[in-house]
Amino acid sequence: MSIFIASSLSADAFTNGISFLLISYIFKIAYTQNSRFGLKETMIIAGMAMLLAFSKTIYFFITFLIFIIPISKTGSLNKYLTMVSVTLVACILASGISSLIVGYLSGQVNPIEQLYGLAPGIPLINPSKQIAFILSDLPGFMVMIFKSFSIFSGIIIKSYIGCLGWMELYFSNIYYLFAIGIIIIIAFFGNNSAIEIKPLHRIIFLSIIGLIILSFSFTMYCSWAEPGANLITNMQGRYFIPAAPLLLFIWGLKRVDSIKEAIPFISMVLVVVSFVVTIYEVLLRYYL
């Protein structure tokens, strides 16, 4: 799906790219033996984190990956705390500025609800009422999140793997099963055995993913559901692509000798099959 998004005029293209770059750069510092976490690295991470926050605020939590960087990379605890503080403060400021700008622009429409409810399928929203409804029953909202993910799990998986148009042209179920199978193989057996991922790091990965899910659910409910609705609609898997690389490192299984050499080939097969299926669906839809 990230390839399709990258070919469109969408903020998601930039969001995916900068999040992948931020994750890989932090991993490089954390897991490369001779790397260090100094002022230069802090400025680079803070810069990417600010760009990510400006792009889409809910992915601010990816910046918490900075906590997987060992203190030894800075030389002292004081330096480490300073570097972490600078990064987080910069990201928080970017998130705040972004929210103020969006709030100001949204305020130019009075009321904001006029942006919605003007076409079939677009709900008539009221963010203030939605937030009040959530705060009045937080446990119920958590249940709603679980229920929504359960009901729309098929759409979430398919829109994560890929679809064409505005979620109107899906591929065959055989392709989705094939793609999921390949991703699972890579996730379980494609890890670099030279990298030691500590249990605490896996907890951080899971926490970041969980926080993004909560933020996403809150945002979608406030911006794409009527007040008091019992489901969160507009559930799309593409929104989880920026944090998806973290899933590949949670399991921590080492490579199997009989599979490790085949991982690049398996990955290439997925890419080729995806392109072939995409071209076929486009031809079938518009030309045949």
What is the rounded average pLDDT of the residues 164-169?
75
pTM summary value: 0.82
Give yes or no for residue 210 having a pLDDT over 60: yes
**In which band, very low, low, confident or very high, does the pLDDT at 103 lie, cut at 50, 70 and 90?**
low
Please tell me the distance from the alpha carbon of residue 81 to that of residue 20, in angstroms, as a whole number: 24
Percent of the chain with pLDDT over 70: 83
Does residue 68 sit in helix, strand or coil? helix
Host H or E run for residue 30: helix 11-31
Give yes or no for residue 119 having a pLDDT over 50: no
Structure tokens at 12: 């998601």
Please tell me the distance from the alpha carbon of residue 141 to that of residue 131, in angstroms, as a whole number: 11
**In which band, very low, low, confident or very high, does the pLDDT at 146 lie, cut at 50, 70 and 90?**
very high
Please tell me the distance from the alpha carbon of residue 46 to that of residue 87, in angstroms, as a whole number: 5
- What are the residues whose beta carbons fall under 8 Å from the beta carbon of 105, sequence distance 6 or more? none
Better-scored residue on pLDDT, 78 or 288: 78
Percent of the chain with pLDDT over 90: 20
Please tell me the distance from the alpha carbon of residue 16 to that of residue 3, in angstroms, as a whole number: 10
- What are the residues whose beta carbons fall under 8 Å from the beta carbon of 259, sequence distance 6 or more? 185, 189
Please tell me the distance from the alpha carbon of residue 145 to that of residue 141, in angstroms, as a whole number: 6
Asked if residue 51 lies in contact with residue 88, where contact means CB atoms within 8 angstroms, the answer is no
What is the rounded average pLDDT of the residues 192-211?
84
pLDDT of the residue at 106: 60
What is the rounded average pLDDT of the residues 170-193?
81
Asked if residue 259 lies in contact with residue 191, where contact means CB atoms within 8 angstroms, the answer is no
Min mean pLDDT across 1-10, 133-142, 229-238 is at 1-10
Structure tokens at 22: 């931020």
> In the chain, helix, strand, coil percent, each to 5?
75, 0, 25
Amino acid at site 116? Y
